[in-house]
A = this chain, B = another copy of it.
Amino acid sequence: MTAFPDIAATPAELIDHRAVGRSLEAPFYTSPEFFDLDVAAIFAEHWIFVATEAELPEPGDYVTITLGSYSIVVVRDDDENLRSFHNICRHRGARILEQERGSVGNIVCGYHKWTYGTDGTLLHAPSQPQGFDPGCFGLKPVHVRSVAGLVFVCLAERPPSDFPDVAARIEPYLLPHQLRGAKVAAQIDVVEEGNWKLVMENNRECYHCDGHPELLRSFFPTYGYTEENLPPRLRPAHERYLQVDAELRQTCQRLGLPYELIEELDNRATGFRIQRDALNLAGESFTADGKVACRTLLGDFPTPRLGHLALHLQPNSWFHFVSDHAITFAVLPLAADRTLLRTTWLVHPDAEAGVDYDLDVLLAVWTATNEQDAELVGRAQRGIGSPAYEPGPYAPTEYQVEAFCNWYITRLRAHLTR
């Protein structure tokens, strides 16, 4: 009797043999081994969007975030700086903060009352012997950085060096929305039954947007298409888009708002894409009629008709900034086949629910879209789980999905050759 045949190629082989222009092989989406690699190579070595400063207005405010098997805390310290730590007591390893968010004076472990300051220093460990050095047992720090109010962390000792450059290039787009002082109108978590990459890939194309009737009203369905590959059915929408987009560019020039597309998705560690783009119908916001959902605008905008500023960052986030609100999306991996999508809606700090905005109206388009996407992601995960699955071809309009996969494969290679 012969030995068992090799059931599967190794991750290294699968990475080596990845076919450009096609979806990835199944193990990238289904195997726990690849999930662990993704956490180690992608989520532990890149800047990860995890929260907004609006969630942490006061000293002591904190949020906890799960990244694979990591638990981290982001806290505003007593000097109002952002700090981030591993959410683990240095004594016997207990998880310290168990709530998703809250406010603390000090960070106290509930097990044996080891007490840390909001800057992570160990302030008090009861009953320790002489010679015990609290300086050796501060909370383990995690890099944290806010870009115009968006909070990123990096678990690596040495984060990718290109992040300051990316930050500098996107801040001029973001700052006019004044997110730092914004107010959280809502935050909704959806657990999708699929690999985190399927969640990202799904977001990177509008080829499937027929499945999003609400979004299709506010969003031009020509996302990802070029003049060359535009299908005839989208021709009228595209004509209308060109006209509205021209108007939007004039408005932006008048107001000094940058709007040009920058697209560096797969040629750098911190891949990104940013562009101010037109919206459909009234062109103001993500609502059924395209008009603003909140009558108090963000920043000092003199007009609501600013389309949407779309930002995408590898590996785990995208954003839509409109004149009256901003929506952030953080993709947080839970397991090979489960992913948390955290969506946060921000409005002007003075905006009041029921007065300036109707919360249901504000949330309607993207909660519906998220639910539809979750169904599609689950469908993709279930199909890819079959041994009969083989990678299929991306259409031209899916070039950003391809760019995501390029970026991902490149980063895995960088990780494995270090």
Contacts and interface: CB of A to CB of B under 8 A. Distances in A.
Contacts of A92: 23, 201, 380, 392, 394
Interface stretch (A121-129, A255-263, A361-369): A121-129
A240 interface: no
Given A1-B15, A70-B386, A127-B207, A379 B229 contact: no
Interface string A14-56: 0110000001001000000000110010001000000000000
A95 B132 contact: no
A208 to B, nearest CB: 5
A389 B96 CA distance: 12
Contacts of A126: 207, 231, 395
Given A15-B1, A384-B93, A388-B70, A393 B132 contact: yes
Contacts of A355: none
A111 B416 contact: no
A225 interface: yes
Nearest to A234: B127
A164 interface: no
A289 to B, nearest CB: 27
A91 interface: yes
B4 A127 contact: no
A102 to B, nearest CB: 15
A265 to B, nearest CB: 18
A383 B89 contact: yes
B379 A110 contact: yes
A413 B2 CA distance: 9
Given A7-B36, A207-B112, A95 B127 contact: no
A331 B155 CA distance: 37
B96 A376 contact: no
A397 interface: yes
A396 B129 CA distance: 7
Given A112-B207, A391-B93, A397-B127, A383 B1 contact: no
Contacts of A110: 211, 376, 379
A88 B380 contact: no
A386 B229 contact: no
Nearest to A15: B1
A388 B389 CA distance: 36
A127 B12 contact: no
Given A111-B380, A376-B110, A88 B386 contact: yes
A212 to B, nearest CB: 12
Nearest to A13: B1
B386 A69 contact: yes
A4 B14 CA distance: 12
Contacts of A236: none
B392 A129 contact: no
Given A4-B416, A110-B376, A392 B229 contact: no
Given A89-B392, A93-B389, A98-B382, 6 more contacts: A44-B387, A93-B380, A98-B379, A110-B376, A128-B393, A129-B395
Interface of A: 1-4, 7, 10-12, 15-16, 23, 26, 36-37, 40, 44, 69-71, 86-96, 98, 110-113, 125-129, 132, 137, 140, 155, 201, 207-208, 210-211, 225, 229, 231, 376, 379-380, 382-397, 413, 416-417
23 contacts: A1-B416, A2-B416, A2-B417, A4-B416, A69-B386, A70-B387, A71-B382, A86-B388, A88-B386, A90-B392, A92-B394, A93-B380, A94-B383, A95-B379, A95-B383, A96-B383, A111-B376, A113-B210, A125-B395, A126-B231, A127-B229, A127-B231, A128-B395
